[in-house]
């Protein structure tokens, strides 16, 4: 597991570095926010520990830029400031968990593992409802039956799964399509673009997800949300 440790307190950083390596993490250390941002955008880390009070670029700004750049790795925020306002600001900026200083290492380790467990179903082939999604193999199936998805439908499902339980906007969807088109020249060339086609693809994907226990909910004026179907309507969809 590759971990970025963004912490400007050299003594704390050294101690964490030793302890994290001892429990099996590959650690890269960033002593300030500028280095943290650079490394996070350059390297596919599995998880990051981010101090909020960092020199050059503060931790909240690093976090906001990371999320704006569509980096979805789990981020555990460290802060000496344990007031409610800071917590709320951090969570709104996209932190996945919080730890206030001082803390015990076993607590940190437990939280890191909890975050990694939460994130892992999206990167390897595991089930969500009746859907099995394997990002690496670019394959989705329902109860062993392969789902036939166009490149755009695949990207749409991938994005909804990454952001599950959060609203995905049309702009995010179109940005994901545009980015993929840049990386895979030609693929999806004949598929039209624009806000209306987002609705078309949502409609198609909804139909393909019927019976999986997952549904795409429209959040009026905001976008779309992937969530487990309520048990009342399906009589027993498993929760996400
Ligand atoms: Ca600090």
- Ligand 1 center–CA 117 separation, angstroms: 27
In this predicted model, what pLDDT tens digit does every residue of 138-188 receive, in sequence order? 788 887 788 899 989 988 998 888 777 678 888 888 888 887 776 655 544
Question: Whose structure tokens read 């599995």?
Answer: 46
Q: What is the pLDDT of the chain when averaged over all its residues?
A: 82
**Distance in Å, CA 14 to ligand 1 centroid:** 13
Architecture of the domain whose range is 126-238: Orthogonal Bundle (1.10)
Report the separation in Å between the CA atom of 54 and the middle of ligand 1, taken as the mean of its atom positions. 5
* 37 CA to centre of ligand 1 in angstroms: 15
Angle between helix 195-208 and 170-183 (nearest 10)? 90
Q: How confident is the model at residue 237 (pLDDT cuts 50, 70, 90)?
A: very low
Domain chopping of the chain, boundaries: 2-118, 126-238
Task: Please give the average per-residue pLDDT across 115-128, as a whole number.
Answer: 58
Q: What pLDDT, on the 0 to 100 scale, is given for residue 81?
A: 64
Find the 102 Cα to ligand 1 centroid distance in Å. 12
CB under 5 Å of ion ligand 1: residues = 8, 51, 53
**pLDDT, greater one: 48 or 214:** 48
pLDDT at residue number 106:
92
* Rounded Cα gap, residues 127 and 18, in angstroms: 35
Residue spans of beta strands (DSSP E) within the chain: 2-6, 26-30, 47-51, 75-79, 97-100, 126-128, 131-134, 139-142, 145-146, 214-219, 223-228
pTM check: above 0.85: no
More confident site: 109 or 133: 109
* pLDDT at position 180: 73
Residues 62, 40 contacting (CB under 8 angstroms):
yes
Percent of the chain with pLDDT over 90: 38
Gap from CA of 78 to ligand 1 centroid (Å): 8
Confidence bin at 234 (pLDDT 50/70/90): very low
Residue-wise pLDDT tens digits, 73-103? 999 999 876 656 766 677 777 888 888 888 9
- Cα of 31 vs centre of ligand 1, distance in Å, is 9
Give the Å distance between the CA of 70 and the centre of ligand 1: 25
Paired tokens of 128: 């969500």
Mean pLDDT throughout 3-9? 97
Give the integer Cα–Cα distance in Å for 94 and 64: 7
Contact 119, 91 (CB under 8 A): no
Question: In the prediction, which pLDDT does 82 show?
Answer: 62
Percent of the chain at pLDDT > 70 equals 80
CATH among 3.40.50.2300, 2.30.30.280, 3.40.50.170, 1.10.10.10 for 2-118: 3.40.50.2300
* pLDDT number for residue 20: 96
**Cα-flanking dihedrals φ and ψ of residue 113, to 5°?**
-65, -35
For position 184, what pLDDT does the model report?
Answer: 59
Output 181 or 33, whichever has higher pLDDT: 33
- Mean pLDDT within 181-199: 62
CA of 32 to the centre of ligand 1 (A): 9
Distance 7 CA to ligand 1 centre (A): 6
């Amino acid at each position: 597991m590759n971990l970025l440790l963004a912490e400007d307190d050299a003594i704390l950083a050294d101690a964490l570095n030793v302890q994290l390596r001892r429990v099996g993490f590959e650690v890269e250390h960033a002593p300030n926010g500028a280095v943290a941002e650079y490394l996070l955008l350059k390297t596919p880390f599995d998880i990051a520990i981010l101090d909020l009070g960092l020199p050059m670029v503060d931790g909240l700004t690093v976090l906001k830029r990371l999320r704006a750049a569509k980096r979805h790795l789990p981020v555990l925020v460290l802060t000496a400031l344990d007031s409610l306002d800071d917590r709320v600001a951090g969570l709104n900026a996209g932190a996945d968990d919080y730890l206030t200083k001082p803390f015990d290492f076993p607590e940190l380790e437990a939280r890191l593992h909890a975050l990694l467990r939460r994130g892992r179903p999206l990167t390897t082939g595991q089930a969500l409802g009746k859907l099995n999604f394997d990002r690496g193999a670019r394959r989705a199936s329902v109860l062993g039956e392969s789902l036939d998805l166009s490149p755009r439908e695949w990207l749409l499902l991938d994005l909804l799964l990454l952001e599950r339980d959060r609203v995905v906007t049309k702009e995010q969807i179109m940005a994901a399509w545009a980015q993929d088109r840049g990386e895979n020249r030609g693929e999806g060339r004949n598929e039209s673009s624009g806000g209306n086609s987002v609705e078309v693809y949502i409609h198609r994907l909804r139909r393909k997800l019927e019976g999986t226990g997952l549904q795409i909910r429209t959040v009026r004026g905001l976008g779309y949300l992937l969530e487990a179907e309520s048990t009342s309507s399906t009589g027993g969809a498993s929760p996400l």
